[in-house]
Structure 1
Amino acid sequence: MHAWEQIQKTIEYIEEHLDEELNIENLAKMAALSPFYYQRLFSRLVKKPVAEYVKLRRMAKAAGMLLQKDWRILDIALELGFSSHEHFTRTFKDTFGITPEGYRKNPQTLNHMTKPELLLHYTLIDEGVPLITNGIVLEINRRKVEEPICFIGAKQDVPIQHLGGLGTESGIDPLDGLWQSFHAQKQTLPGLSGNAEEVGVTFPSLEEGYFSYFAGARSKPGAAPDGFMNWELPAGEYIVCFFEAENFEALVMDAIYKAQQYIYNTWLANHKLQTDTFCAERYASHSPETANMEILLKLKK
């Protein structure tokens, strides 16, 4: 068994026992490693120390439980192994920047630590061959876009650390407000195409230390009204990563991070391919029924 498989085995165990006390020595024994080497290898592969990872996964689980009104906050705290309501509240606020009470009263989209699938770092799939791993199906193909595709939407600049920390850092999603604002005004925008598929595009910002994110929908060519902008998906050859998950929440909170990590860090790197500086996320819509999407990366000539 490869070393990463040993670590993944303990990741699965942790996920199933978040409501129990987890002991480093027992996890290391499960991985057939010394406690020292287990912690060292875990940190290298997961990008977090074991104790911090466990805390962040507990907080991710807590966020979901808080949306179920039949759970008292004290009960959630005790269920996840916290000694008191105060300890739980402090940890939750330190993690997400909002108290459990505040989140329950005003739910917001929270970025959280994603459970890693280390298989995606070590498996190279052929084009057109689906890869099935825990919770997602992923497939990579090439596609030619013959003519530019027009979109209309809005842009926001976000500190670069939010891009690098996707899937590993926790906090209020800085892009949730952008999407909510766009959806509130979407039906008033002129020139939307019939299906009005949506796109989220990441590209370099003119402001140092930031990246730009465009949220929009497919449209006919034409000038954007005040407060909005046009963006075109250029013609050219693309690497397209199609993936699906169990539901929309899993798609945008977990699967997208895993797909991006796979295509950038494993697939493109091993094929020695270079792409343009933008990354387009293409959705049928942001409805709860949407369970699949595409990442499009334009190949450099």
Structure 2
Amino acid sequence: MAETEMVRCSVQSAQFTRIEKVLEFIHHHLFLPLSLDDIAQKSCWSRWQLQRVFTAKTGVNVAQYIRELKLSGAAESLLDSSTDRVLDVALAFGFNSEISFSRSFKQFFGCSPREYRKRGIRTGLRQPITFIAPSSTNVQALPLKIGDHDFTQIRIEYKPAFCLAGYQGEIGGLFSSQPDFQQLVPTIWHEFERLKSQDSISNGAGNTTPALRYGVIDTLSLHDDRLTYWASEECSNNLPKNLKPLYIPDQEYVVLPHRGEIAQLKSKLEWLFSDWLPQSGYSGVDGFELEIYSANYQLNSPDAYMEYWLPIENHKS
């Protein structure tokens, strides 16, 4: 590795280490007002440097991150205890008054704290940004290359029941004895596109509005270590004759965002199941795991964005 590249990697690693310390400080002091001056002092950066580097590495600015995390923690508290006053919850997360807390809460969640508690549904909850270290099997040499680190922010969301139309096939999943999903999933999507295009031709001009695409892993269908995988999109009123319907019930999910080539998703999923989930207070449940893509998703693009939705239940429920 060239000397200039080694220096650049060393700077990148130092920045990631410092950001980790900033995140740790924030996560342990959410009950405080947490001014930018306080955090900058702890980070040994100026306010401008802190905001610039933090946003570049995590994708969110410091003030926005703290606000969303405080409100998410407050929302969890509202659901976990039906007796705590809204004012007590507000003060516990560093808000000065119930009025300012309720105003911020409604701006973020679209409803008041009392309405959120009454609904009793965990949704829109931001979890602490987490550092995903590269798998030891993928690290060939030090120093780490740029891009080997990743910060990810998990969300907890509720999705009402909905209907899909798609094409199904069988795959070996992530923890199968023969995990061939990376080879077979593209062929299932290719067949979905072929069948959909036939429908478009037979019905004349197709729908001009791009629809979200859903890859669905049916963990209820496990048979001989094989899973059913659906390539699909949301149904319109008229089900395409070449595609089959799939009903997805209402469910709470943990949402894992992924930006980059789709081949890199595998290591993130391993981290989600092996590291994040056992410590989260949630547990996975059998059902329908969702991969949500835009209609023009480019699987080999470094800028491609998709989300993996894993069905969960709360241990406190």
Name 2:214's counterpart in structure 1. Answer: 213
CA distance in 2, matches of 1:35, 1:214: 42
Q: Work out the percentage of aligned pairs sharing the same amino acid.
A: 21
Q: In 2, are the aligned partners of 1:111 and 1:167 still within 8 Å (CA)?
A: no
Name 1:80's counterpart in structure 2. Answer: 93
Name 1:57's counterpart in structure 2. Answer: 69
Deviation at 1:118, TM superposition (A): 3.4
CA distance in 2, matches of 1:87, 1:51: 16
AA matched with 1:8: E
Name 2:246's counterpart in structure 1. Answer: 228
1:27 to 22, 27, 39: 39
AA matched with 1:211: L
**Cα distance change of structure 1 residues 95 and 124 upon mapping to structure 2, 3 Å threshold:** same
CA distance in 1, matches of 2:307, 2:55: 30
Deviation at 1:288, TM superposition (A): 5.0
Aligned length in residues: 202
Alignment of 1:114 onto 2:99: no
List alignment gaps of at least 5 residues for structure 1: 129-165, 183-200, 231-236, 253-259, 261-268, 290-301
TM-score, scaled relative to structure 2: 0.50
Alignment of 1:41 onto 2:17: no
Name 1:126's counterpart in structure 2. Answer: 137
Deviation at 1:86, TM superposition (A): 1.9
**Cα distance change of structure 1 residues 8 and 96 upon mapping to structure 2, 3 Å threshold:** same
CA distance in 2, matches of 1:287, 1:116: 21
Deviation at 1:70, TM superposition (A): 2.9
Name 2:171's counterpart in structure 1. Answer: none
List alignment gaps of at least 5 residues for structure 2: 1-12, 140-151, 165-184, 197-206, 229-243, 249-262, 285-291, 293-298
Structure with higher RCO (Cα < 8 A, 6+ apart): 1
CA distance in 2, matches of 1:27, 1:176: 35
Deviation at 1:251, TM superposition (A): 6.1
AA matched with 2:54: F
SS in 2 for 1:2: helix
Deviation at 1:286, TM superposition (A): 4.4
Root mean square deviation, CA, Å:
4.8
CA distance in 2, matches of 1:4, 1:10: 10
Deviation at 1:212, TM superposition (A): 3.1
Name 1:299's counterpart in structure 2. Answer: none
Name 1:191's counterpart in structure 2. Answer: none
Alignment of 1:99 onto 2:112: yes
SS in 1 for 2:95: coil
Deviation at 1:105, TM superposition (A): 0.8
CA distance in 1, matches of 2:265, 2:121: 33
Q: In 1, are the aligned partners of 2:69 and 2:126 still within 8 Å (CA)?
A: yes
TM-score, scaled relative to structure 1: 0.52
Q: In 1, are the aligned partners of 2:161 and 2:247 still within 8 Å (CA)?
A: no
Name 2:78's counterpart in structure 1. Answer: 66
**Cα distance change of structure 1 residues 126 and 24 upon mapping to structure 2, 3 Å threshold:** same
Deviation at 1:96, TM superposition (A): 1.2
